[in-house]
Amino acid sequence: MAPRRSKEKKEDEITERTAPTGEVVYHAVYREGEHELERGTAELALSGLAAGLSMGFSLQSESLLQAHLSDAPWRPLLTKLGYSVGFVIVILGRQQLFTKNTLTVILPLLRKLQREILGKVARLWIVVLATNLMGAFLFAWLLGKTNVFDENVRAIFSRIATEAIQPNFGLLLLRGILAGWLIALMVWLLPFAESARFWVVILLAYIIGLAGLPHVIAGNVETFYLVTVGGISLGHCVIDYLLPALLGNIIGGVALVALGAHAEFIEADRMLK
């Protein structure tokens, strides 16, 4: 009996130390998507508003780092760590972020292409996107219309926002696809990252910030700031930044990751039926 118990103990240890299979990750993300689709509208709206506000800390943190570091070629390598702050708050705080839901809620829809599920996805996307943007605008208004930060920091807000909106529509769209891809990959990695969850969020958000890839919520805190201080019109903000960033993020999250994950683990999907 003793050798058998020893063998069983070893097998349990091996199982604990083995990385989960792709099918297990698929099931975990799929179940999360199902749960999100069943949440009430008011709950989604409050969580989405909180997420939009929280994303403002990316602009604030990056700007404060710039204000306290000397102007040198290596400075972006440190200041872009501040861009990760909003993502850490939102993702680890389980708040509703639109780009996160370009992966999770799409898997249930791909499993069953039904009008009812499509309606639930549309409801979630509309509510979360609208409240995310509302929260982002409120945070930008706070930065632009109050004296919470001094003129030096506010000048940095404007500089970051101006740089963000410089690329043309097509380039922002392409870059937005990469940003949406990275966010969806972040969501895919998180279920079994365990103690490394914090670093997964930091690393991928840092890459998005360092590469200047547009994120429809974090980036619009920046462009909304320019709107509040009279730098650009709201129409300019919506057409020249929000729209290409939104389309790119959706394509990156849905087409390049959700569809790929679904196709790769199609057998696991059939098992759920």
pLDDT digits (tens, 9 = 90+) for 41-68: 999 999 999 999 999 999 999 999 999 9
Instruction: Note whether residue 74 is domain-resident.
Output: yes
pLDDT at position 269 is 47
Q: Is residue 8 a part of any domain in this protein? A: no
Structure confidence by residue, pLDDT tens digits, 232-271:
999 999 999 999 999 999 999 887 666 666 666 665 445 5
Calpha distance 7→156 (Å, rounded): 62
For residue 97, being part of any structural domain is answered with yes
pLDDT at 15: 47
Q: Looking at the domain assignment, is residue 21 inside a domain?
A: no
> Which residues are CB-neighbours of 197 under 8 A, at least 6 positions away?
92, 190
Q: What pLDDT does residue 258 have?
A: 65
Q: Give the angle subtended at the CA of 46 by the CAs of 45 and 48, to the nearest 5°.
A: 65
* 7, part of any domain: no
With respect to residue 16, please indicate whether it lies within any of the assigned structural domains. Answer: no
Residue the block writes with tokens 């208004």: 141
Total domains, the chain:
1
Q: Is the pLDDT of residue 195 over 90?
A: no
**Which CATH number belongs to the domain containing residue 39 in this structure?**
1.20.1080.10
Query: Cα torsion at 57, 58, 60, 61 (round to 10°)?
Result: 100
Domain hosting residue 117, numbered range: 32-272
- Classify residue 22: in a domain, yes or no: no
CA distances to 63, 80, 229 from 150, rounded to whole Å, are 11, 21, 14
Token duo for residue 248: 């790119």
In a domain, 45, yes or no: yes
pLDDT band, residue 5 (cuts 50/70/90): low
